[in-house]
Structure 1
């Protein structure tokens, strides 16, 4: 037994030495050859000593080095802008990305872009009304601008390649640091812009940057790096202004002004009155349409004095309104749930209807006249109950007006007038008719709209021709004065000046004048263009003809022609004649009145029950409706007036509030007078006069 024990202890020692050597070699990194395993002794004797050294192996491993932390890239250093005594404006390009479609031409490849505009008031004065002006260079289409709207009222997405002015919606003041103790949330505003541009994959930056507030002088924008543009708009004075949270702005005059009065306010809804006023001496609205966009998804539950075009109740039923208003109110009965409702006037017979009418200035069939024509018809109004949606239903004084106002005639509610952003003005007062007492609105906003000018101005709907007793030719309306047809038949030229007319062609429809045009050109020995110039395409034309000119005075005849099937009730026209108007005396078969205060124009109307309707051409046998009157002038107050020159002809004419296209020239004394007509030319003209459609010689 003793010998066996000694042999066993020796085997165990030898095995332990081998195991420890192997572990040491592995830990030290040497490529030793692992010895062949030794045959184990009987299981009962070998197992306990083998487990002990194996358990020590993990303890001998070296510690693992920790992984390096993953850090965000260091931000770019902030630019240090020069000192600014006014409003600092910074545009920063955030990102661009190539988008579909994949264009074969690089210049046509679209890219999305995201940028931000930061305004900081570093001056003495609070900026209560402002807009940011930017000029672009890559055919940009602005898709959204959080908190901003286009000052001209266009809705997103919109092409802004010709520039844009963005104003806060609803209006926000840029307070100054002095009155806010440097509160950054009140002196600085940040707005994000998202859009699409073409051809510039990396740096689609604007060209100009400024604010449009009156009196502020902006420096030329300067680039900082490739994605930041900076400008400083110096304030006009350094007078410290202290303001309240509700800054009442002065009303702004316009051709059309819209007043939005909140009459009563509750936690979840309010009652508002909308008043449309025609403040233009020459403008007129027929079948007006008013459109706006709700800022917080409000909806109209009831309305008096007007009606929306479409109810869109499915928007309420399937949206947040249907989920929130589940108690005593049925959103199926809402008057309008549209985000951008289009509202129109009621007919005259609804004036005293206590259910849908019975509002002062309502129910005019959409007609709003200038105050100089009829002050009692220069306004239109309606009331409505507006319901709010969460999270804005717990504060009765949380009142936000709609934005993006548009107004126009009939189906045209976009291009005739351009409206600005709502301005918070002093609350309107409503005097009691019997007591020395007035109620006031909770809040009042004003929107000013003016006739659209520039590229977006719609084409005219009327035109003017000139003629005189001292010249045998009529200077016609311009070619395509009211727009050109897409595919005119027969083919005509839109770029060729209109040809002179004989008097006999004046009452012929423009498309029926070809024979007389050719005959008259032959008589005058004038070249005939090929193709002939296109007609004026106007529904209404006006001829101004000088009838006489003598030592003490002169006279003219004004003729109106209706060429389309539209009847114009209670028509009016405004004639601008700055040099001749002081000598204006009267019109014989029209009502005519000077327009104060400038006294450069006069307005003419038909006589009630006699000629105050310009009928549609389908209602008269000759195919053209004609109204005319002689107008007399004296020379006592206009010495030296050149009647046969420019002074005897209008410089501008408006018909029913819309400016008419004017001729390219005017008749001169004898220059266009027929001197030696050919026998053939006179014969051709006579034949044309006898055998064409009936007409009226004026």
Structure 2
């Protein structure tokens, strides 16, 4: 027994407590889930409600509404597009508040031509400024839908359609199949339509209740891994107590000269930069990023700025490196254990998310309307910043072991790439702990295991 345990004893005696902490962090990050489930918004989804409001001689009139039940993920320009496959030979006679992208083959109709005859139509929102007689409530925002926390009054989008060749009773109507939602690109997966209790509507004066003839719901959930092959943002760190600036990890969102992302990188000092940018489509879903070591469209910098007797201060800067996008209604979600003691925030809005009711460690930050809610495209004006003032909780507060830095950061609902924990700016007296790299820990651990089995 002594021979078996001696190598293990030597292994644990060789390392300090901070090494054991690094092992724990490595084991935790190694098993991070890659599923669509979001631990900070576990019930977030977009629900599509299809309400049949009245019957027509050959079908029905319906109002379709998309409700964004996601706390911090919104749909930005160029907006959503919704598709489905008809179950029978339905056509769309007319629409309000939206339009299909392709009419399809309507050659068999004479006189009154349908708005769309495609088996698999795709609908988009109308633009702001659409004539009033073509609108309905919650339409005509260019496909932009706000998140539930940031702007609940604009967290829905609607259109109306008159459907023909569809059946005229609850028993003859068939629900569409294979719903798809692009917002504006991929990422959402929609389940099957499910018939539910008809929606009830309360009049403006609250004196009368009406209800739909028939209602079905479709639930769509988001996965960052389906939305894009590479991350969309990264995090860099710095502090007043250490001159080291920890940059975003190299190639965090892709690498320069990568054949799969050719032409997506532009030098900031290129002589023909203006022509390149003007030739690209603004608010395009495909990023055109400034050439950097990280190649991310967005970088978030967290700087531990000042230390007071009872408070400490952080500066947060968001920089846009994407020449193809003005990020309207941007938001930031930050997880840090001291948000329960946030005292003041400057030039950003703040809302506590508390995904787990007993713990207030997650905050949502976004810009002040008409001031900094628009994050301009890459260039001198392509950044927004704010400062956060925290009160110290002496039972937990410390600048040691990277405690002052966030655990995770989301930008516009996407998880940003964090630097490795052993690279965080440590206090000067913790330099020996910081010098132990995760690779050294793993190699030593494997050597100890090999030694153990050698003795056995």
TM-score w.r.t. the length of structure 2 is: 0.71
Instruction: Give unmatched runs, 5+ long, in structure 1.
Output: 1-251, 492-507, 512-532, 674-698
Residue of structure 1 equivalent to 2:47: 257
Instruction: Quote the residue 2:329 is aligned against.
Output: 570
**Residues 188 and 227 in structure 2, CA contact (< 8 A), matched pair in contact too:** no
| C-alpha distance in structure 2 between counterparts of 1:426 and 1:479, whole Å | 52
Aligned residues: 358
- Find the aligned partners of 2:343 and 2:250 in 1 and give their Cα distance: 34
| Aligned equivalents of 2:292, 2:370: Cα separation in 1 | 37
Q: Deviations over 1:302-333 (max 9, x none)?
A: 11111222222x2x32xxxx2xx65xx623xx
- State how far apart, in whole Å, the 1-side matches of 2:342 and 2:62 are: 46
Distance change in 2, residues 1:644/1:534 (3 Å): same
For the pair 1:614 / 2:396, whether they are aligned, the reply is: no
Are the structure 2 counterparts of residues 608 and 453 from structure 1 closer, same or farther at C-alpha, using a change threshold of 3 Å?
Answer: closer
Paired with 2:164 and 2:229, the residues of 1 have a C-alpha distance of 36
- Please list, as runs of the form range in 1=range in 2, the aligned pairs for 1:100-179 lying within 5 A after superposition: none
Looking at structure 2, the residues matched to 510 and 342 of structure 1 have their Cα atoms a distance apart, in angstroms, of 41
Write out aligned runs for 1:337-376 (5 A).
337-350=117-130, 353-354=132-133, 356-357=134-135, 359-376=136-153
Instruction: State the Cα deviation string for residues 315-352 of structure 1 (Å, max 9, x = none).
Output: x32xxxx2xx65xx623xx22222222221122212x6
What is the Cα deviation at residue 430 of structure 1?
1.0
Structure 2 Cα separation of the partners of residues 456 and 593 of structure 1:
26
In the alignment, which residue of structure 1 is the partner of 2:201? 430
How far apart are residue 366 of structure 1 and its match? 1.5
Deviation at 1:632, TM superposition (A): 0.8
The change in CA–CA distance for 1:394 and 1:284 in structure 2 (over 3 A counts) is closer
CA distance in 2, matches of 1:367, 1:611: 18
Runs of 5+ consecutive residues of structure 2 not aligned to the other structure = 1-41, 271-290, 433-456
Aligned-partner Cα distance in 1 for 2:232–2:377: 14
Separation (CA, whole Å) in 2 of partners of 1:385 and 1:279: 27
1:408 pairs with 2:168: no
CA distance in 1, matches of 2:227, 2:86: 25
Question: CA contact under 8 A between 1:472 and 1:672: conserved in structure 2?
Answer: no
* Partners of 1:339 and 1:557 in 2: CA distance: 53
Match of 2:307 in 1: 549
Q: Relative to 1, partners in 2 of residues 1:669 and 1:536: Cα closer, same or farther, differing over 3 Å?
A: same
Q: 1:464/1:601 Cα in 2 relative to 1: closer, same or farther (>3 Å)?
A: same
Partner of 2:71: 281
RMSD, aligned α-carbons: 3.1
CA contact (8 A) 1:307 1:343 kept: yes
Does the CA-based 8 Å contact 1:275-1:381 persist in structure 2?
yes
Per-residue deviation, 1:293 = 1.8
Higher relative contact order (CA 8 A, sep 6+): 2
Report the Cα offset of residue 535 of structure 1. 2.7
2:61 is matched with 271
Deviation string 1:601-624 (CA, Å, 9 cap, x unpaired) is 22222233332221112xx4x4x6
Match of 2:96 among 298, 304, 318: 304
Q: CA deviation at 1:445?
A: 1.1
Q: Is the 8 A contact 2:84 2:179 kept in 1?
A: yes
**Larger radius of gyration between Structure 1 and Structure 2:** 1
1:385 to 154, 158, 162: 162
Partner residue in 2 for 1:663:
419
**Residues 435/629 of structure 1: CA separation in 2 closer, same or farther (3 Å cut):** closer
> Shift in Å at residue 405 of structure 1?
1.7
Q: Secondary structure at the match of 2:384?
A: strand
Quickly say closer, same or farther: Cα 1:459–1:388, change in 2 above 3 A: farther
* Aligned ranges 1:2-401 → 2 under 5 Å: 254-266=44-56, 268-286=58-76, 287-312=79-104, 314=105, 316-317=106-107, 322=108, 330-331=112-113, 334-350=114-130, 353-354=132-133, 356-357=134-135, 359-388=136-165, 393=167, 397-401=171-175
Q: Is the 8 A contact 1:592 1:603 kept in 2?
A: yes
Asked whether 1:450 is paired with 2:221, we answer yes
Which residue is 2:286 aligned to?
none
For normalisation by structure 1, the TM-score amounts to 0.47
Aligned position for 1:632:
389
Aligned partner of residue 376 in structure 1, secondary structure: helix
